[in-house]
Amino acid sequence: MSQQYRSRPLGSDVALSEAYDTALLDLDGVVYAGGHAIVHAVESLGSAREGGMHLAYVTNNALRTPDAVAEHLTELGVPADATDVITSAQAVARLMADQLPSGARVLVVGGEGLRVALRERGLVPVESADDDPVAVVQGFGGPDLPWGRFAEAAYAISRGAVWFASNTDLTIPGARGIAPGNGAAVEVVRIATGAEPQVAGKPLPPMHRETVLRTGAKRPLVVGDRLDTDIEGAFNGGVDSLLVLTGVTDAAQLIAAEPRYRPTYVDRDLRGLLTGQPEVSEDGDGFRCGGWTAGVRGEALVLDGGGDTIDGLRALCAAAWTHAGEGACGLDAQKAVARLDL
């Protein structure tokens, strides 16, 4: 495409599992939610793997170790080794090790995943600001993280410790709905200290660097449910992406996305790895995908036709993104989206 921005989802004549050698898969909201496999995930990943696609699991959730994540995936029916898992804990530990001396003490606000990653890089986890840490690292600690951990972080930072965060996702999907993520916890410490952390996780370069180093992917496809981490991370890394609608992003958010949040492909779930992607073509003043045609009428997006509703969403994305150009689409999409019932 000649534009610097993506104006429509792309098509593919072959299955995405054949077009790309490695799927860089987010976990929460893509493979599982609240510990349970998302519908169609297990069988889709199994088929992609059997077809020769390498599966790597790239998560901003720093709570669990790669061994624990791999064990959980295997229990769900998705065989995985610890080497297939890349976490933001690993990315932030490498970032810290590049700046801190070996053996440096680090106050940990988070789970075991952070502690293991720090030890692998020669850093020493501690639990109190009174242990003289030179740095603080903050990662998702689960729903039972004590409030006092934030106080320890604030004390250490106010005494001069350098602050790092594994990621700043404000929310995390679970079996019961959307819950506060590590980004919400980071805001607590930010408000208390006025400081700014160095962040490693998606969509920032340290996470992309960690993923490339650990997977060796040549033709990677980022697969995620979040525009502001997964898709933006793929944009920053210059690689293609597939957005699935099984997590936090809904149709209205996707339609309104500015360029860095626009995925290469859009599908309902991980079955999209196993199929080609339909072409979105110009049709008069609008765009057609499958049996749907989308366009702009006045200050609103309009949608006509019928068929597979995900095709209607792809057509709407083309109309909205083309109209918005390098900005975010501000057109009224409510009636058009309501027709899709996604």
- Tokens representing residue 94 in the block: 């490498």
Catalytic annotation, pick one of 26, 225, 240, 267: 26
- Tokens representing residue 38 in the block: 């998302």
For residue 339, how far is the Cα from the chain centroid? Answer: 27
Q: How far is CA 67 from CA 49, 113, 204, 326, in A?
A: 20, 9, 24, 42
User: Hunting for tokens 């409510």 — which residue is that?
Assistant: 334
Q: Side by side, which strands form the sheet with 281-283?
A: 281-283, 286-289, 292-297, 300-305
Task: Report the DSSP beta bridge partners of residue 136.
Answer: 107, 163
- Which H or E element spans position 178? strand 177-180
26: annotated active-site residue = yes
The residue among 211, 271, 251 whose CA lies nearest residue 9 is: 251
Catalytic annotation, pick one of 13, 21, 28, 341: 28
Catalytic residues: 26, 28
